[in-house]
Structure 1
Amino acid sequence: MRTPRRVDRVHVEVAGVPMSALVGEAPRPRAVVVALHGGATTSAYWDAPNRPRLSLLRTGPALGFTVVALDRPGYGASAAHTDRFADPERRVDLAYGAVERLLESRPRGAGVFVMAHSVGCALGVRMAADERGAGLLGLEIAGTGLHRQPRADEILVERHRELLEGGRRDRPPATGRTPRAEGGGLRDLIWGPDRLYPADVAGGAGIASSTPGYEGIEVRHWRRTLPGLAARIRVPVHYSLGDHEQVWRSGPAALAEVAALFTASPRVVVHEQVDGGHNLSLGLSAMAYHLEVLSFVEECVLAREAAARRTHRQGAL
């Protein structure tokens, strides 16, 4: 598989708010994958620095899928407007608006599939639970769950409490390096074990970002928020955790518990990524993970094509 070199940075405006994304485009896509990064990172999370084989933005187009890695509200071009994003419905509207603007002149193939990581799953799940979500091909969520591991719970709650106090934004590392380059418990949670990641990933330019304060609310209430949203999702769902996940409880029981929340989904698949940590798309196993998800996207495309053929036959009777 030859991974394409070109990834474009694109800017659009939605209701007066600038939004940005990285786009890896396939000429005649089977579908479009909209990728939502996690906290304290940007859309560059999906384009592993100096490692094209690990990049979703390059692997996707090589296999016939356009990938739109959106900078979530409060990140990238919209970072200066963070005070406008307290309402989660506003963030959903902005995300859908940005996707429409970004794709208005691009082919979509069978449709749009949403892929989200970590805190980005809050937006991904809300998009799928929204009435517009019924038109999606499907949803992938990774690096999230119902129960955090005890040490992670203590560290993350304290970190996001700081974001909420005074409404300030968390500052990125002064060195400009990604969070892995910094010491402390949080680094170990999201970047460990070290052997699962390329040695130079910490030097990847443009991955780290300040964090909008609203994410503290999402983190604190996620366990209560997820079940209600999950029950409203009516498209296929794929849920992934790394076998070395250190933020969320992992293993078969934890995967099954989250999968059981999607009671209205026609199909729910769980996946435990071998040699995967929290940041699945930046680890050495990133290609294996991306191939797993893109295989699921292809299955969603085939299901939509089959449904269209059935509708066509019924209409001809």
Structure 2
Amino acid sequence: MKRFSLSLSNGAQLSGIVSVPPRISTTPHYQPLIVGIHGGTYFSRYFDAGTTNSAVRLAETLGVPFVSIDRPGYKDSTALPPVPEGSTFLQEEGKYLHGYILPKIWQEFGASSGATTIVILAHSLGSPSSIVASALHAREAQPQYPCGGLIMSGWGTAHGRPSESARDIVANGVVDGRIAWPLEMKDGPMFGDPKLGRVSPEILGMGAELNTSMSLGEFEDGSFHWIDYWLTYAKEVKVPIMYGMGEHDVLWKATRETVQDFAREFTGSPRVESGVVLGAPHCIELSYWGPGWVARCLGFAAECAAAEGVSRRVAAGQA
């Protein structure tokens, strides 16, 4: 695993971490390039945290290339331009992801890794822009990158906290256009009561190392506006989808019904797998459930890559 910094076609910078294991005799013929999209108040290290919770390292063990980005405005990634009238933050981030970030990632790491297609792995506030990007990808006859699947966790249709709580954060918690959660306020929603032991002491000890501020724009849009327009994008997504919610997610209501409500809106997808991860908190990937969840994600992504690769061979008359 190593950090990277790339110059995008619009002159902006993109930072993150990447792992490209060498192809060996046991490497599957068709392979996904996982692109991790972190949530709010985290950054690319979300997918490379701890001894046993690192999605990047687990992928490396299985020979799967993995790129985890710092979303725009996080770490060394250039912030989004001002949101134009009539649009929203998360729509613009999705356009940016589709128009600049994913094409560059594929150009830089796709062929060199031997990957067949990109599969997006999004957590929480990384999910909306990933949905938008996947919908925009489906609209193009000749997209700049292949996208074979979308995996999401920690995002839903019914907020777990009253809107007044979010309005209070907007009114009192913004400094220079960003919101910072002190760890004493953040760990509870992310992991639950520490007495319940859902997260290892190692991960809890990394709290300050993994913590950063989030933009007011993404928080406002995700809290108040996204729910009003997301269906327009969801129905356009054409790739297979895997979706999970931790049973004890505090930020969202996580029941069989709410999970099904979310999943059923992806009417254009040929395959939608969804479920509640029993016992898990909001940050499934950082919890004791993380290795199991990530292993399932990698398996799903491998199936997406196989479907994409074989489909191309058939279309080319090479089956």
TM range (shorter): 0.7 to 0.9
1:145 to 153, 156, 172: 156
SS at match of 2:17: strand
Q: What is the CA distance between 1:312 and its match in structure 2?
A: 4.2
Aligned to 2:123: 117
Q: Counterpart in 1 of 2:143?
A: none
Q: What are the Cα deviations for residues 189-240 of structure 1, in whole angstroms up to 9, with x where unaligned?
A: 2221421111232332631111122212321212123211101101101111
For 1:183-198, what aligned pairs fall within 5 Å after superposition?
A: 184=185, 186-194=186-194, 195-198=197-200
Deviations 1:117-168 (A, max 9, x none): 00111121111111368731100111000111245x44334324556x7862
Are 1:39 and 2:33 matched, yes or no? Answer: no
Partners of 1:55 and 1:158 in 2: CA distance: 34
Superposition map of 1:1-317 within 5 A? 7-14=1-8, 15-28=10-23, 30-49=31-50, 51=51, 53-78=52-77, 81=79, 84=82, 86=89, 87-88=92-93, 89-103=95-109, 106-131=112-137, 135-151=146-162, 153-160=163-170, 162=172, 168-171=177-180, 173=182, 179=183, 182=184, 184=185, 186-194=186-194, 195-204=197-206, 206-219=209-222, 220-313=224-317
How many correspondences in the alignment?
A: 295
Q: Equivalents in 2 of 1:248, 1:133: separation in Å?
A: 30
**Does the CA contact (< 8 Å) of 1:143 and 1:241 recur in 2?**
yes
Question: Counterparts of 2:45 and 2:147 in 1: how far apart (Å)?
Answer: 24
Query: Does structure 1 conserve the Cα–Cα contact (< 8 Å) formed by 2:38 and 2:70?
Result: yes
2:150 alignment partner AA: L
Unaligned runs of at least 5 residues, structure 1:
1-6, 174-178
Taking the aligned partners of 2:313 and 2:80, their CA distance within structure 1 comes to: 45
Which stretch of structure 1 is more off in the superposition, 121-130 or 203-212?
A: 203-212
Distance 1:287 1:275 in 2: 14
Identity %: 23
User: Can you give the 5+ residue segments of structure 2 that lack an aligned partner in the other structure?
Assistant: 84-88, 141-145
SS across alignment from 2:288: coil
Offset, 1:25? 1.6
Superposed displacement of residue 270, structure 1: 0.4
The TM-score, its normalising length taken from structure 2, stands at 0.84
